[in-house]
Chain A
Amino acid sequence: MLYRETGQFKTSYSADQAIFPIFQDRMFILGWLIVAFIAVPLMASEYWFQIILIPFLVFSLATLGLNILVGYCGQISLGTGGFMAVGAFSAYKLATNVPELNIIFVILISGLITALVGILFGLPSLRIKGFYLAVATLAAQFFLIWMFNKFGWFVNYSPSGSIAIPPMEIFGVMVTSAKADPVARYYLALGFTVVLALLAKNLVRGPTGRAWMAIRDMDIAAEIIGIKPLATKLKAFAVSSFFIGVAGALYFSAWSGTAESDAFDINLSFNILFMVIIGGLGSVVGSFMGAAFIVLLPIFLTNLFVGELGFSALTAKHLEITIFGALIIFFLAVEPHGLARMWQVTKEKLRIWPFPH
């Protein structure tokens, strides 16, 4: 209905293969970018930045990372929390030990370090598949967390065992630590998220993405048409971990400002996995939807139960968990491919409106 594609024809492959070939889509994305970069900073309050917007961005990025691995390459991972921790702690070490390094590079390098760790734990994926692999990633999860709180070196031997990001600047604007203006921290997170999201989109619609999806859909056939399983999977692990690492670094530097290893425990891993599932396996835009959903839901529920209905915090928490679980089951039953698929279906409907098919 909104989609009027008559007269949109392509006279070259580069036009046909553009990242958003349909005019209306381009407008749509543009709209969102304007909102994110201009409207939001003008309107949002401190609370919004701290409780909703920045975590949303951070988790979107992490979700995107995990989605590349699970959704595109079909390799289950329960180690996301651990990898985010790697990102966070690398950022901490870099920021404290190499103060002259610009925060942007701090974050990027943290991502690269995480990528290496990811590759390391991805190696078994050549021989093991499915749930077996999930266990391998669990090993990563528990080992890494254990490592971070057992070895003082990672926290510069601070007795509390927790780490805090020093104030850092970009072009003289302070962007990290409690002293920084939330807007600045928001822009930091937003910048990384948007750029990386675009890169991810390009990756998954290109040869790399095709190789991943081939492995996902039918690894045997994939190998028989000449796709190297290990190399392909490791690429997925690397890229995925890089994204997650950057997310971890942002979690720490742009959002929480302080952290301790337990913040990145197995539950975080599961949360991110839920964001992927509910957002939609194998979808970039879905990763954002999933993150938004899971970030907003608890806030909404808490406000509802405690705020409106006046339940005890404890009951509220339990109710929350229950509803959370129920929703997940519901989603899987109704639309196993998540919000992204729903969006896609609606979009298709809009394109062929008023016809049903």
Chain B
Amino acid sequence: MEMLNAVFVAPFVDMFTYPAFFVEVLLGGLTAGVMYSLVALGFVLIFKASGVFNFAQGVLALFAALTLVGLMTGTIPFSQNSMSALALPIWLAVIATGGVMVGLAYAIERVVLRPLVNQEEIIMFMSTIGLAFVLEGVGDMMWGSDVKALDVGIPSGSFEVNGVLVQVFDLWAAGIAAVMVAFLAVFFQKTKIGRALRAVADDHQAALSVGIPLKTIWVAVWSVAGLVALVAGIMWGSKSGVQFSLSLIALKALPVLILGGFTSIPGAIIGGLIIGVGEKVAEVYWGPLVNGAIENWFAYVLALLFLMFRPQGLFGEKIIERI
């Protein structure tokens, strides 16, 4: 009885008794959700276009953030953090980092994807884990592995709307994410390469017949994914500093994908938010019942339960098995 009450009654009572707090929790969750969404977005892009399940997406974000910080502070690569005179202004650093990410996309296509083309998907998946290791190692060696503050001038601080404390940063995060998505939408609808990418997603042969080599397509999509990662890196980095933990949100993105479906961009966004909110709320209201820290697994279990009922995700198409 005691138990039942604690699980099924008390939490909801709390919610209604302190709505402001509840809303804040929700907002916190949404912000986290945005982060997840951004990473998940990268996944979806690559998975759609190349069927590769890119485990390294999180590390891409980390790498981007590290590079950005490095450039802004004028760190000399591979020098155990000795500084040089030239520290790039933010805008330049961002662009430069963007360039780096594109270059990286090239390198990846050449070194990882091309040799592995037509391999079973698990092999591809494993290779991206390898990639994650490489990026992490290289990133740390170039820019040092210590936790770094990242400030790209996103205003912090907070204000109160009838008793609810709102973080300015969170609004910005949401805003930027929105812009990001809008940008992608345009990219896919309007640009030639964007349409090609959609084509590939549906059917490789088709894309090839459009006359765009798979190579180019992959480079393109990995570049885009890289840029998305950069944005994610900036957001996450300036919120909680640039550090290895960043790459672990890659894992969090998995349940997001399951909710949203591997091939749906809106799915990635919604899924991210659901997970973000879900785990925060769960943590705050139910966590204490089981000594807390259920954030670690809540997302996965949620996804797992969800899978049992809708294997193809919220927005994924139903799979018809042929033989």
Does a CB–CB distance below 8 Å link A and B in the complex? Answer: yes
A interface, CB within 8 angstroms of B: 70, 76, 124, 127-128, 130-132, 134-136, 138-139, 142-143, 145-146, 150-151, 220-221, 224, 266, 270, 273-274, 277, 312, 314-315, 318-329, 332-333, 336
User: Which of B174-182, B217-225, B235-243, B295-303 makes up part of the contact surface?
Assistant: B295-303
Q: Would A142 and B300 be within 8 Å (CB), given that A131-B53, A220-B323, A266-B251 are in contact?
A: yes
Kindly list the 6 A-B residue pairs having the minimum CB-CB distance in the complex, ordered from nearest: A325-B133, A322-B137, A328-B130, A139-B300, A325-B134, A333-B115
| Interface residue? B162 (CB, 8 A) | no
Whole-angstrom distance between the alpha carbons of A323 and B137 in the complex?
8
Whether A322 and B133, one on each chain, are in contact in the complex, defined by CB atoms closer than 8 angstroms, is yes
B interface, CB within 8 angstroms of A: 53, 80, 111-112, 115-116, 119-123, 125-127, 129-138, 140-141, 145, 251, 254-255, 258, 262, 290-294, 296-297, 300-301, 303-304, 307-308, 311, 321, 323
8 A-B contacts, Cβ less than 8 Å apart? Answer: A131-B53, A135-B300, A139-B301, A143-B296, A221-B323, A318-B137, A324-B137, A325-B130
Chain A residues near B137: list those with CB within 8 A.
318-325
Q: Would A329 and B145 be within 8 Å (CB), given that A138-B254, A322-B137 are in contact?
A: no
Whether A329 and B297, one on each chain, are in contact in the complex, defined by CB atoms closer than 8 angstroms, is no
Chain A residues near B123: list those with CB within 8 A.
277, 332, 336
User: Could you list 16 further interchain pairs (A-B, Cβ under 8 angstroms) beyond the known A130-B121, A324-B133, A325-B136?
Assistant: A131-B125, A135-B303, A139-B297, A142-B297, A142-B300, A146-B294, A151-B291, A273-B129, A318-B137, A325-B133, A328-B127, A329-B111, A329-B112, A329-B127, A332-B116, A332-B119
Whether A321 and B116, one on each chain, are in contact in the complex, defined by CB atoms closer than 8 angstroms, is no
Whole-angstrom distance between the alpha carbons of A274 and B290 in the complex?
34
Whether B141 and A319, one on each chain, are in contact in the complex, defined by CB atoms closer than 8 angstroms, is yes
Q: In terms of DSSP, what is the predominant structure of the interface of chain A?
A: helix
Whether A328 and B129, one on each chain, are in contact in the complex, defined by CB atoms closer than 8 angstroms, is yes
A326 CB, nearest partner CB in chain B, Å = 6
Chain A residues near B126: list those with CB within 8 A.
273-274, 277, 328, 332
Contact pick for B300, options A128, A130, A138, A151, CB 8 Å:
A138
Chain B residues near A143: list those with CB within 8 A.
296-297, 300-301
A151 CB, nearest partner CB in chain B, Å = 7
Chain B residues near A134: list those with CB within 8 A.
254
B271 CB, nearest partner CB in chain A, Å = 12
Contact pick for A138, options B120, B129, B140, B251, CB 8 Å:
B251
Whole-angstrom distance between the alpha carbons of A274 and B53 in the complex?
17
A154 CB, nearest partner CB in chain B, Å = 12
Chain B residues near A266: list those with CB within 8 A.
251
